[in-house]
Structure 1
């Protein structure tokens, strides 16, 4: 006989089903590595630009200190009362900026030294104009060194953008050097008038040196600004820079002529002082315009970096989702295509009654133990051979 087939569950092919997941995992690793590296690069660039913004903020605070210090030096050399209020106010504002950004830019130590010298200036004997000139010269040298430190540690000096580089070079190096040198130049002219005639040769050499030190950075600043204005895509920059730029350029040209001594060795002190004040006033108007333009360029770059970061994260997320989707769909397709059971006949059995025909079907036969011989099958409705002749035997 046969019995209903036992459903034997086939062992799933585990290696074949795990292969898609394994491949997806292997592909996810390099994708994740590339995404993380790209995001780190973008994040590092963004941190660098933010550090440059701190440098711009520091340079903005040093501008009033430079102007007030140059004016205080001129007042001390000429014997006029010191405008201490403006210098103290500028120092306090710069100190507040250094307190916020000094650790990041590593300028706190330098600024502390400059502030100590500035606070000690009124206590020193400045009755001699020569001593005042030398004392303020030491402080202004330290101030120029602080300008360089800010540009270096903030990364402004290494900015890859051409416009930003020339702008920071002009406002962070050439402009303060030109202002300080111009102040020293006019102060030296006043000192030369008070020196004895025996020192005239030395005085003229010092005057020529300071004249070059004042005019060279001023001319470099003019050339750099002209190049930036002509190449910049910001139309407002040219309009904002035009008036103070022209005024500064005219003042520098006037200083170049007025600083030349005449045949007798004298210099037009009043005219040179007036040209210096005009250049200083134009630089005062020009500095915030240039710093604002640098801030705008850096802000635009941060916006681009933020968009790049979003693109990197979006592309990485999409790649991860695609790999996971492919792995899951492959897993499901393999699960549906693989058979889970088969019909297996029992060993040592014969067909069941329902499997035998009666009439047009097989006649049901009693079940017999396995191994016992089964009588021949006969169609339904026909008796066995002895039963067929039984009526004839009864009639006889």
Structure 2
């Protein structure tokens, strides 16, 4: 019976051995791209939030300058001593902030222009209130332009969240414009009252236009802050902002009422208008730091959340790399064991096909031998010479 030879195991090709690793690489590529995209997005958002915090710091310094400038203008127009010390402290504080972060916010050139104008006001006296009003107005315009520059370069104008966007718009645009316009309105009322009767109608028209310029940003400020409170998830924002906002809103309403000419005289009372402007200024001074503090708190919370997202992304990437590396190691080890088994099977098959070693002095195992009677000569040679030996 013929026994079939064992079937030789087929050795895997190089492509077959590399195919599992190629599949792991194909799985690792999209995972790596996804992790890299998430990391890049979280990093960009975090950098934007950190840069916005720099803008908040700069706006805080500019708020102090704005407050001191409006107070100095009111003193110069009304013939009182100008509070130079407060203005100098505010200027030095803003200069320190600009020296620290102005290069990153691209504000140093504009701040240099504003500071030069502020230094020029130092030697101005109170002899000519009209020219002082014009000079302070030029500096105020430059200061508002610097507010806009800081908001743009810091990314505050591109803030993605509704609550923080309304807060930055209120603190960086609406409130500074409202404060400066309210100060001009109160000071212009004083100047108009001093002008000749022939110039009174033109002065009242100027007051009407400036009244609109002062009330419009104040109304936008109130709307923005209420929208920020309504759209925010923070429970502290409403409690901290609404109380000083209500105080400011009432002061602005009083300013609007006293800036309207009386029906019986056709003129405004400069004393009442000046007092209303001072109250609005004080209310804005209380509201400004609250807005900036709440905005900075929201940005800090966002930075912390983005840091957690980045750590989570990094941990996910490390875990995926470990799992895929472990799988690749298992596949490589399995491939090595398969190659060892194939080599061992080939060795056994080769040994089975080779005939066993035979002693040349022994007859072949398969050779047939004739049966001999008992006592017969062990071989033919002994039988042939046996008779000769017996006769001799």
* CA distance in 2 between partners of 1:84 and 1:227 (Å): 38
Equivalent residue, structure 2, for 1:110 = 110
Spell out, residue by residue over 1:179-208, the C-alpha distance to the aligned partner (whole angstroms, 9 max, x if none). 101110111111112211111121111000
Partner of 1:99: 99
Q: Which position in structure 1 is the counterpart of 2:376?
A: 389
The structure 2 residue matched to 1:367, chosen from 360, 363, 387, is: 360
Q: Evaluate the alpha carbon distance shift between residue 388 and residue 290 of structure 1 in structure 2; reply closer, same or farther with a 3 A threshold.
A: farther
**Corresponding residue number in structure 2 for 1:157:** 157
CA distance in 1, matches of 2:298, 2:366: 104
Are 1:351 and 2:352 matched, yes or no? no
Against the structure 1 CA distance between its residues 376 and 272, is the aligned structure 2 distance closer, same or farther, given a 3 Å change threshold? closer
- Take 2:142 and 2:40, find their aligned partners in 1: how far apart are those partners? 37
CA deviation vs aligned residue, 1:79-118 (integer Å, no higher than 9, x gap): 2111000000001111111111111111111001000110
CA distance in 2 between partners of 1:20 and 1:187 (Å): 82
Distance 2:32 2:241 in 1: 48
Q: TM-score, normalised by structure 2?
A: 0.86
Which whole-Å CA distance do the structure 1 matches of 2:12 and 2:374 have between them? 57
Structure 1 residue 44 displacement after superposition:
0.8
Query: Compared with structure 1, are the counterparts of its residues 32 and 232 closer, same or farther at alpha carbon in structure 2 (3 Å cutoff)?
Result: closer
CA distance in 2 between partners of 1:26 and 1:245 (Å): 58
Match of 1:141 in 2: 141
CA deviations over 1:285-305 (Å, ceiling 9, x no partner): 111111111111111111221
Supply the distance in 2 between the matched residues of 1:376 and 1:251 (Cα, whole angstroms): 127
Q: Which runs of 5+ in 2 are unaligned?
A: 1-9
Q: Gaps (5+ residues) in structure 1?
A: 1-9, 354-365
Q: Which residue of 2 aligns with 1:226?
A: 226
Secondary structure of the equivalent of 1:71? helix
The TM-score with structure 1 as length reference comes to: 0.85
1:337-358 CA distances to partner (integer Å, 9 max, x unpaired)? 23123132599x85336xxxxx
Q: CA deviation at 1:23?
A: 3.1
Counterpart contact for 1:46–1:305, Cα < 8 Å: yes
State the alpha-carbon separation in 2 of the partners of residues 124 and 98 from structure 1: 26
Contact 2:204 2:267 in 1 (8 A): no
Call closer, same or farther: CA 1:335–1:260 in 2, change over 3 Å. Answer: same
Cα offset, 1:225, TM superposition:
2.0
Residue in 2 that maps onto 1:180 = 180
CA separation of 1:387 and 1:226: change in aligned 2, threshold 3 A: same
**Any conservation in 1 of the 2:24–2:328 contact (CA below 8 Å)?**
yes
Q: How far does residue 247 in structure 1 lie from its aligned partner after superposition? A: 1.5
> Which residue matches 2:338?
337
1:257-272 equivalences in 2 (<5 Å): 257-262=257-262, 263-272=264-273
**Range with greater deviation from structure 2 (132-141 or 190-199):** 190-199
For residue 52 of structure 1, report the CA deviation from its aligned partner.
Answer: 0.6
- Summarize the alignment of residues 230-269 of structure 1 with structure 2, pairs less than 5 Å apart: 230-262=230-262, 263-269=264-270
CA RMSD in angstroms comes to 2.8
The range that moved more, 202-211 or 118-127, is 118-127
Aligned to 2:17: 17
CA distance in 2, matches of 1:73, 1:286: 21
